[in-house]
Chain A
Amino acid sequence: MAILNVNPTRMELTNLKRKLTTARRGHKLLKDKRDELMRRFLDLVRENKQLRREVEQGLKKANGYMSLARSAMSDEALNVALLMPKQEMYLDISEKNVMSVMIPEFSVKFKTADENDVYSYGFADTAIDLDEAVAAYAEIMQKMIRLAEVEKACSLMAAEIEKTRRRVNALEYVMIPQYEETIKYITMKLDENDRSTTTRLMKVKDMMLEQAHHYSQHRAQE
Protein backbone atom coordinates (compact mmCIF):
# COMPACT_ATOMS: atom_id res chain seq x y z
CA MET A 1 0.00 0.00 0.00
CA ALA A 2 1.38 3.32 -1.05
CA ILE A 3 1.94 5.91 1.60
CA LEU A 4 0.76 9.45 1.22
CA ASN A 5 3.15 12.07 -0.07
CA VAL A 6 3.71 14.12 3.09
CA ASN A 7 6.60 15.63 5.03
CA PRO A 8 7.60 13.50 8.01
CA THR A 9 6.98 16.16 10.63
CA ARG A 10 5.23 16.09 13.96
CA MET A 11 2.53 18.40 12.68
CA GLU A 12 1.69 16.08 9.80
CA LEU A 13 1.64 13.20 12.24
CA THR A 14 -0.92 14.90 14.47
CA ASN A 15 -3.02 15.82 11.45
CA LEU A 16 -2.91 12.29 10.11
CA LYS A 17 -3.84 10.78 13.44
CA ARG A 18 -6.84 13.07 13.61
CA LYS A 19 -7.82 12.12 10.05
CA LEU A 20 -7.47 8.44 10.90
CA THR A 21 -9.81 8.78 13.89
CA THR A 22 -12.37 10.52 11.69
CA ALA A 23 -12.01 7.89 8.99
CA ARG A 24 -12.49 5.10 11.50
CA ARG A 25 -15.59 6.72 12.95
CA GLY A 26 -16.97 7.40 9.46
CA HIS A 27 -16.29 3.83 8.49
CA LYS A 28 -18.15 2.49 11.50
CA LEU A 29 -21.15 4.77 10.89
CA LEU A 30 -21.33 3.95 7.19
CA LYS A 31 -21.07 0.26 7.93
CA ASP A 32 -24.00 0.53 10.33
CA LYS A 33 -25.94 2.48 7.73
CA ARG A 34 -25.21 -0.14 5.09
CA ASP A 35 -26.28 -3.00 7.34
CA GLU A 36 -29.53 -1.35 8.36
CA LEU A 37 -30.33 -0.34 4.77
CA MET A 38 -29.62 -3.87 3.66
CA ARG A 39 -31.94 -5.34 6.27
CA ARG A 40 -34.82 -3.09 5.27
CA PHE A 41 -34.06 -3.53 1.61
CA LEU A 42 -34.26 -7.31 1.79
CA ASP A 43 -37.63 -7.12 3.56
CA LEU A 44 -38.90 -4.70 0.92
CA VAL A 45 -37.61 -6.78 -1.96
CA ARG A 46 -39.38 -9.85 -0.66
CA GLU A 47 -42.61 -7.88 -0.45
CA ASN A 48 -41.93 -6.46 -3.89
CA LYS A 49 -41.57 -9.91 -5.45
CA GLN A 50 -44.70 -11.17 -3.75
CA LEU A 51 -46.74 -8.14 -4.83
CA ARG A 52 -45.44 -8.36 -8.35
CA ARG A 53 -46.55 -11.96 -8.67
CA GLU A 54 -50.01 -11.10 -7.36
CA VAL A 55 -50.36 -8.04 -9.58
CA GLU A 56 -49.21 -9.88 -12.68
CA GLN A 57 -51.64 -12.67 -11.90
CA GLY A 58 -54.48 -10.17 -11.42
CA LEU A 59 -53.66 -8.27 -14.56
CA LYS A 60 -53.59 -11.47 -16.55
CA LYS A 61 -57.11 -12.18 -15.34
CA ALA A 62 -58.28 -8.66 -16.10
CA ASN A 63 -56.68 -8.71 -19.54
CA GLY A 64 -58.39 -11.99 -20.26
CA TYR A 65 -61.82 -10.55 -19.49
CA MET A 66 -60.92 -7.47 -21.45
CA SER A 67 -60.14 -9.54 -24.55
CA LEU A 68 -63.49 -11.24 -24.21
CA ALA A 69 -65.26 -7.92 -23.84
CA ARG A 70 -63.47 -6.56 -26.85
CA SER A 71 -64.54 -9.46 -28.98
CA ALA A 72 -68.13 -9.11 -27.82
CA MET A 73 -68.41 -5.35 -28.28
CA SER A 74 -67.56 -2.90 -31.04
CA ASP A 75 -64.64 -0.53 -30.54
CA GLU A 76 -66.98 2.44 -30.53
CA ALA A 77 -69.14 0.97 -27.81
CA LEU A 78 -66.04 0.20 -25.75
CA ASN A 79 -64.77 3.74 -26.19
CA VAL A 80 -68.07 5.13 -25.08
CA ALA A 81 -68.12 2.86 -22.08
CA LEU A 82 -64.59 3.40 -20.86
CA LEU A 83 -63.01 6.58 -22.03
CA MET A 84 -65.23 8.89 -20.02
CA PRO A 85 -64.59 7.58 -16.52
CA LYS A 86 -66.50 8.93 -13.57
CA GLN A 87 -64.01 7.68 -11.04
CA GLU A 88 -60.67 9.44 -10.74
CA MET A 89 -57.70 8.51 -8.64
CA TYR A 90 -55.22 10.90 -7.16
CA LEU A 91 -52.21 10.32 -5.01
CA ASP A 92 -51.18 12.21 -1.96
CA ILE A 93 -47.47 11.94 -1.52
CA SER A 94 -45.45 12.17 1.63
CA GLU A 95 -41.79 11.45 1.93
CA LYS A 96 -40.31 9.04 4.39
CA ASN A 97 -36.70 9.26 5.37
CA VAL A 98 -35.12 5.83 5.67
CA MET A 99 -31.44 6.17 6.55
CA SER A 100 -31.30 9.42 4.55
CA VAL A 101 -32.94 7.85 1.51
CA MET A 102 -36.05 9.81 0.64
CA ILE A 103 -38.79 7.32 -0.13
CA PRO A 104 -42.16 8.47 -1.44
CA GLU A 105 -45.28 7.19 0.26
CA PHE A 106 -48.53 7.19 -1.66
CA SER A 107 -51.97 7.46 -0.27
CA VAL A 108 -54.83 7.13 -2.70
CA LYS A 109 -57.65 9.64 -3.02
CA PHE A 110 -60.76 9.00 -5.03
CA LYS A 111 -62.91 11.57 -6.71
CA THR A 112 -66.19 9.97 -5.74
CA ALA A 113 -67.00 8.94 -2.23
CA ASP A 114 -67.36 5.27 -3.02
CA GLU A 115 -64.09 3.91 -4.29
CA ASN A 116 -65.81 0.93 -5.85
CA ASP A 117 -67.88 3.21 -8.00
CA VAL A 118 -65.95 2.27 -11.11
CA TYR A 119 -68.59 1.44 -13.66
CA SER A 120 -68.65 4.41 -15.95
CA TYR A 121 -71.36 3.03 -18.19
CA GLY A 122 -74.86 1.69 -18.12
CA PHE A 123 -75.07 -2.04 -18.00
CA ALA A 124 -77.54 -2.26 -20.87
CA ASP A 125 -75.21 -1.87 -23.86
CA THR A 126 -72.12 -3.60 -22.61
CA ALA A 127 -70.92 -7.16 -22.38
CA ILE A 128 -70.79 -8.86 -19.01
CA ASP A 129 -67.10 -9.54 -19.54
CA LEU A 130 -66.46 -5.83 -19.41
CA ASP A 131 -67.96 -5.70 -15.93
CA GLU A 132 -65.75 -8.59 -14.92
CA ALA A 133 -62.69 -6.89 -16.39
CA VAL A 134 -63.38 -3.61 -14.63
CA ALA A 135 -64.00 -5.45 -11.36
CA ALA A 136 -60.72 -7.32 -11.78
CA TYR A 137 -58.87 -4.07 -12.41
CA ALA A 138 -60.48 -2.44 -9.37
CA GLU A 139 -59.53 -5.41 -7.24
CA ILE A 140 -55.88 -5.25 -8.20
CA MET A 141 -55.53 -1.46 -8.03
CA GLN A 142 -54.65 -1.12 -4.35
CA LYS A 143 -51.92 -3.67 -4.83
CA MET A 144 -50.64 -1.90 -7.89
CA ILE A 145 -50.28 1.34 -5.95
CA ARG A 146 -48.47 -0.46 -3.17
CA LEU A 147 -46.30 -2.16 -5.79
CA ALA A 148 -45.36 1.20 -7.26
CA GLU A 149 -44.43 2.47 -3.80
CA VAL A 150 -42.38 -0.58 -2.89
CA GLU A 151 -40.68 -0.87 -6.23
CA LYS A 152 -39.65 2.76 -6.20
CA ALA A 153 -38.34 2.37 -2.67
CA CYS A 154 -36.37 -0.71 -3.70
CA SER A 155 -34.86 1.07 -6.65
CA LEU A 156 -33.82 4.09 -4.57
CA MET A 157 -32.47 1.97 -1.76
CA ALA A 158 -30.51 -0.30 -4.09
CA ALA A 159 -28.75 2.75 -5.49
CA GLU A 160 -28.03 4.07 -2.00
CA ILE A 161 -26.74 0.73 -0.76
CA GLU A 162 -24.42 0.47 -3.72
CA LYS A 163 -23.05 3.94 -2.99
CA THR A 164 -22.67 3.26 0.73
CA ARG A 165 -20.97 -0.06 0.08
CA ARG A 166 -18.44 1.63 -2.18
CA ARG A 167 -17.72 4.22 0.48
CA VAL A 168 -17.33 1.61 3.20
CA ASN A 169 -14.94 -0.38 1.05
CA ALA A 170 -12.97 2.68 0.01
CA LEU A 171 -12.50 3.64 3.67
CA GLU A 172 -11.77 0.12 4.83
CA TYR A 173 -9.36 -0.97 2.12
CA VAL A 174 -7.84 2.27 0.87
CA MET A 175 -8.10 5.28 3.12
CA ILE A 176 -7.57 3.70 6.52
CA PRO A 177 -4.62 1.47 5.54
CA GLN A 178 -3.07 4.42 3.74
CA TYR A 179 -3.31 6.60 6.84
CA GLU A 180 -1.99 3.83 9.03
CA GLU A 181 1.00 3.22 6.79
CA THR A 182 1.78 6.89 6.55
CA ILE A 183 1.56 7.32 10.31
CA LYS A 184 3.88 4.37 10.73
CA TYR A 185 6.28 5.83 8.19
CA ILE A 186 6.35 9.22 9.92
CA THR A 187 6.80 7.67 13.38
CA MET A 188 9.71 5.60 12.11
CA LYS A 189 11.27 8.57 10.42
CA LEU A 190 10.94 10.71 13.57
CA ASP A 191 12.38 7.95 15.76
CA GLU A 192 15.23 7.54 13.34
CA ASN A 193 15.89 11.27 13.53
CA ASP A 194 15.88 11.05 17.33
CA ARG A 195 18.38 8.24 17.32
CA SER A 196 20.65 9.97 14.88
CA THR A 197 20.54 13.14 17.02
CA THR A 198 21.46 11.12 20.10
CA THR A 199 24.38 9.41 18.40
CA ARG A 200 25.58 12.70 16.99
CA LEU A 201 25.47 14.28 20.43
CA MET A 202 27.40 11.37 21.92
CA LYS A 203 29.99 11.63 19.20
CA VAL A 204 30.33 15.39 19.69
CA LYS A 205 30.63 14.91 23.44
CA ASP A 206 33.41 12.38 22.88
CA MET A 207 35.24 14.77 20.62
CA MET A 208 34.89 17.66 23.09
CA LEU A 209 36.14 15.54 25.98
CA GLU A 210 39.03 14.39 23.83
CA GLN A 211 39.96 17.99 23.10
CA ALA A 212 39.77 18.98 26.76
CA HIS A 213 41.59 16.02 28.38
CA HIS A 214 43.60 14.40 25.58
CA TYR A 215 42.69 10.89 26.69
CA SER A 216 44.24 9.20 23.68
CA GLN A 217 47.64 10.75 24.45
CA HIS A 218 47.42 9.64 28.12
CA ARG A 219 46.58 6.16 26.98
CA ALA A 220 49.53 6.16 24.59
CA GLN A 221 51.96 7.22 27.38
CA GLU A 222 50.91 4.49 29.81
Chain B
Amino acid sequence: MYKIAAVGDRNSVYGFASLGLKVFFAEDGAEAKHVIRTLAAEEYAVIYVTEKLISEIPDEIDKYSDKPLPAIIPIPGVAGNTGFGLRNVSRFVEQAVGSDILSD
Protein backbone atom coordinates (compact mmCIF):
# COMPACT_ATOMS: atom_id res chain seq x y z
CA MET B 1 0.00 0.00 0.00
CA TYR B 2 1.55 3.23 -1.09
CA LYS B 3 0.56 6.66 0.12
CA ILE B 4 0.05 9.97 -1.63
CA ALA B 5 1.45 13.25 -0.37
CA ALA B 6 1.00 16.90 -1.18
CA VAL B 7 3.76 19.37 -0.39
CA GLY B 8 3.40 23.11 -0.58
CA ASP B 9 2.60 26.26 1.24
CA ARG B 10 -0.22 25.89 3.69
CA ASN B 11 -2.93 27.52 1.66
CA SER B 12 -2.19 25.60 -1.53
CA VAL B 13 -2.27 22.06 -0.21
CA TYR B 14 -4.65 22.42 2.69
CA GLY B 15 -7.69 21.14 0.84
CA PHE B 16 -6.07 17.87 -0.17
CA ALA B 17 -6.22 16.71 3.41
CA SER B 18 -9.95 16.19 3.09
CA LEU B 19 -9.38 13.61 0.36
CA GLY B 20 -7.09 11.57 2.49
CA LEU B 21 -3.80 12.72 1.05
CA LYS B 22 -1.05 13.40 3.54
CA VAL B 23 -0.26 17.08 3.46
CA PHE B 24 3.11 18.56 4.38
CA PHE B 25 3.71 22.25 4.64
CA ALA B 26 6.85 23.81 3.22
CA GLU B 27 7.37 27.50 2.65
CA ASP B 28 10.60 27.50 0.65
CA GLY B 29 12.81 25.28 -1.49
CA ALA B 30 15.08 24.14 1.33
CA GLU B 31 12.15 22.97 3.42
CA ALA B 32 10.54 21.26 0.47
CA LYS B 33 13.79 19.47 -0.34
CA HIS B 34 13.96 18.13 3.19
CA VAL B 35 10.32 17.00 3.12
CA ILE B 36 10.63 15.34 -0.29
CA ARG B 37 13.72 13.46 0.80
CA THR B 38 11.95 12.10 3.84
CA LEU B 39 8.88 11.16 1.82
CA ALA B 40 10.86 9.47 -0.95
CA ALA B 41 12.49 7.22 1.60
CA GLU B 42 9.08 6.15 2.88
CA GLU B 43 6.29 4.51 0.98
CA TYR B 44 5.01 7.44 -0.98
CA ALA B 45 4.22 6.73 -4.62
CA VAL B 46 2.99 10.15 -5.69
CA ILE B 47 4.12 13.48 -4.29
CA TYR B 48 2.32 16.54 -5.53
CA VAL B 49 4.46 19.63 -5.09
CA THR B 50 3.52 23.19 -5.90
CA GLU B 51 5.13 24.61 -9.00
CA LYS B 52 6.77 27.40 -7.06
CA LEU B 53 8.63 25.00 -4.79
CA ILE B 54 9.59 22.63 -7.60
CA SER B 55 11.11 25.42 -9.66
CA GLU B 56 13.34 26.27 -6.71
CA ILE B 57 14.86 22.81 -6.43
CA PRO B 58 15.24 21.35 -9.95
CA ASP B 59 18.31 19.29 -9.01
CA GLU B 60 16.48 17.47 -6.25
CA ILE B 61 13.58 16.67 -8.59
CA ASP B 62 15.90 15.38 -11.30
CA LYS B 63 17.20 12.78 -8.86
CA TYR B 64 13.85 11.00 -8.92
CA SER B 65 13.12 11.42 -12.61
CA ASP B 66 14.69 8.13 -13.69
CA LYS B 67 13.27 6.03 -10.85
CA PRO B 68 9.84 4.45 -11.20
CA LEU B 69 8.82 5.75 -7.76
CA PRO B 70 8.04 8.25 -6.41
CA ALA B 71 6.36 10.35 -9.07
CA ILE B 72 6.86 14.00 -8.24
CA ILE B 73 4.12 15.98 -9.93
CA PRO B 74 3.98 19.77 -10.10
CA ILE B 75 0.60 21.34 -9.33
CA PRO B 76 -0.35 25.00 -9.45
CA GLY B 77 -0.46 26.66 -6.04
CA VAL B 78 -2.95 29.09 -4.71
CA ALA B 79 -0.87 31.95 -6.10
CA GLY B 80 -1.87 30.92 -9.59
CA ASN B 81 -0.66 28.90 -12.53
CA THR B 82 2.89 29.64 -13.62
CA GLY B 83 2.75 27.35 -16.65
CA PHE B 84 5.59 25.31 -15.21
CA GLY B 85 3.67 22.05 -15.49
CA LEU B 86 3.02 22.31 -19.19
CA ARG B 87 6.56 23.53 -19.84
CA ASN B 88 7.74 20.45 -18.02
CA VAL B 89 5.76 18.22 -20.37
CA SER B 90 7.21 20.09 -23.34
CA ARG B 91 10.62 19.37 -21.90
CA PHE B 92 9.91 15.63 -22.07
CA VAL B 93 9.03 15.98 -25.73
CA GLU B 94 12.20 17.93 -26.34
CA GLN B 95 14.26 15.31 -24.59
CA ALA B 96 12.72 12.45 -26.55
CA VAL B 97 12.26 13.94 -29.99
CA GLY B 98 14.91 16.64 -30.09
CA SER B 99 12.52 19.53 -30.47
CA ASP B 100 9.10 20.34 -29.12
CA ILE B 101 6.88 19.14 -31.94
CA LEU B 102 3.66 19.33 -29.95
CA SER B 103 3.77 22.96 -28.88
CA ASP B 104 0.77 25.01 -29.79
Please list the residues of chain A having a beta carbon within 8 angstroms of any beta carbon in chain B.
38, 41-42, 45-46, 48-49, 52-53, 55-56, 59-60, 62-63, 66-67, 70, 78, 82-83, 85, 87-93, 95, 102-104, 106, 109-111, 118-120, 133-134, 137-138, 141, 144-145, 147-149, 151-152, 154-159, 161-162, 165
Q: From residue B71, how far is it (CB to closest CB) to chain A in Å?
A: 4
From B7-15, B30-38, B52-60, the one touching the partner chain is B7-15
Instruction: Determine the chain B residues whose CB is within 8 A of the CB of A145 once the complex forms.
Output: 4, 46
A-B contact count (CB 8 A): 142
Please list the residues of chain B having a beta carbon within 8 angstroms of any beta carbon in chain A.
1-4, 11-12, 14-21, 45-46, 48, 65-66, 68-69, 71, 73, 75-78, 80-81, 85-86, 88-89, 92-93, 95-97, 102
Are B45 and A49 closer than 8 Å at their CB atoms?
no
Q: From residue A220, how far is it (CB to closest CB) to chain B in Å?
A: 79
Instruction: Determine the chain B residues whose CB is within 8 A of the CB of A46 once the complex forms.
Output: 102
How far, in whole Å, are A91 and B88 apart by their CA atoms in the complex? 24
Are A119 and B18 closer than 8 Å at their CB atoms?
yes
Are B65 and A159 closer than 8 Å at their CB atoms?
yes
Instruction: Determine the chain B residues whose CB is within 8 A of the CB of A137 once the complex forms.
Output: 15-16, 18-19
Are A120 and B96 closer than 8 Å at their CB atoms?
no
Instruction: Determine the chain A residues whose CB is within 8 A of the CB of B75 once the complex forms.
Output: 55-56, 59, 144
Contact of A118 among B3, B19, B66, B89 (CB under 8 A): B19
> Whose C-beta in chain B lies nearest to the C-beta of A137?
B15
Instruction: Determine the chain B residues whose CB is within 8 A of the CB of A155 once the complex forms.
Output: 65, 92
Enumerate 7 A-B pairs (CB-CB under 8 Å) in ascending A order: A56-B75, A87-B19, A88-B20, A118-B18, A138-B19, A151-B89, A154-B92
Are A91 and B68 closer than 8 Å at their CB atoms?
no
Instruction: Determine the chain A residues whose CB is within 8 A of the CB of B12 once the complex forms.
Output: 63
How far, in whole Å, are A156 and B67 apart by their CA atoms in the complex? 8
Are A90 and B14 closer than 8 Å at their CB atoms?
no
How far, in whole Å, are A112 and B10 apart by their CA atoms in the complex? 26
Q: From residue B72, how far is it (CB to closest CB) to chain A in Å?
A: 9
